[in-house]
Amino acid sequence: MTAQGRTPAGPFSDAERAAIYRAIRERRDVRGPFRPEAIADDVLMRLLGAAHAAPSVGLSQPWDFLILRDPALRKEVRAAFDLANAEAAAMFDGERRALYSDLKLQGILEAPINLCITCDRRRGGPVVLGRTHDPATDLYSTVCAVQNLWLAARAEGIGVGWVSIFRQDDLRRILHLPDHVVPVAYLCLGHVDELHDGPELEARGWGRAAPLAPHIRTDRWSD
């Protein structure tokens, strides 16, 4: 028996466990092509509910979910991306620059929904339990919400692409964000017909995912 307000801590069934690991393994950063149909409201609310269930420092839940449906607003966001993307391309040389320029790194105008997940740096007050010695933990909490949504989206058959190539001040201006609110993730969401077997950047020859073993250390870094 468990105490009131608690639930058993045993493992999930084999099928439930397999589904969770499948969502983790098959999650992809999707740039399209997105299908034109809308995401049903109940599905969108399930995704936002999954994000809102993420752990947060001091139970501060510093995130907010800004849904962008206005085509004119999204055109402004796309223009901001194009500006930053040109700057980013110039940072690479030779073949790397050519490959970068050939990558599709956003689906801002094509995706049925754009979603900006923000972090309110004032949420929870001036002193937040668990944030007293690391002020960035509210940002980490918001990223946990992003990952929750991403995994839930995979289970729902919804593609999600994280667009990170922006000047932050441009997003603040376009979305009218207060100074204390940080845009953490700009996401493009929509139905897709297929996914890459592995990371798309690996398929396009940009890099290769590393195996687990070299990333495991014990006790001290140098050991």
Per the model's pLDDT, the better-predicted residue between 137 and 4 turns out to be 137
Tell me the per-residue pLDDT of 73-125, one tens digit each, with 9 for 90 and over. 999 999 999 999 999 999 999 999 999 999 999 999 999 999 999 999 999 99
Taking a C-beta distance cutoff of 8 angstroms, is the pair 114, 188 a contact? yes
Say what the pLDDT of residue 223 is: 61
32 band by pLDDT with thresholds 50, 70 and 90? confident
Residue 216 has pLDDT above 80, yes or no: yes
- Mean pLDDT calculated for residue range 26-45: 95
Reported confidence tier of residue 138, pLDDT bands at 50, 70, 90: very high
Q: What is the mean pLDDT of residues 180-194?
A: 97
Q: Which range, of 13-17, 61-65, 219-223, averages the lowest pLDDT?
A: 219-223
pLDDT at residue 53 greater than cutoff 90? yes
Could you give the dihedral angle defined by the CA atoms of residues 134, 212, 197 and 112, in that order, rounded to the nearest 10 degrees?
A: 0
Residue 1: the pLDDT is: 57
Q: What is the pTM of this model?
A: 0.95
User: What pLDDT score was predicted for residue 113?
Assistant: 96
Q: Which helix (H) or strand (E) holds 182?
A: strand 181-191
Q: How many CB atoms lie within 10 A of CB 220?
A: 6
- Does residue 27 have a pLDDT over 70? yes
Residue 90's CB is within 10 A of a number of other CB atoms, namely: 10
The per-residue pLDDT for 3 is 74
Average pLDDT over residues 155-160: 97
Under a CB-based contact definition with an 8 Å cutoff, are residues 28 and 190 in contact? no
Amino acid of residue 162: W
Q: What is the CATH number of domain 29-195?
A: 3.40.109.10
For residue 4, the model assigns a pLDDT of 81
Phi, psi of 200 (to 5 degrees): -65, -35
* Residues 6/82, Cβ–Cβ less than 8 Å: no
Q: What is the chain's mean pLDDT, rounded?
A: 95
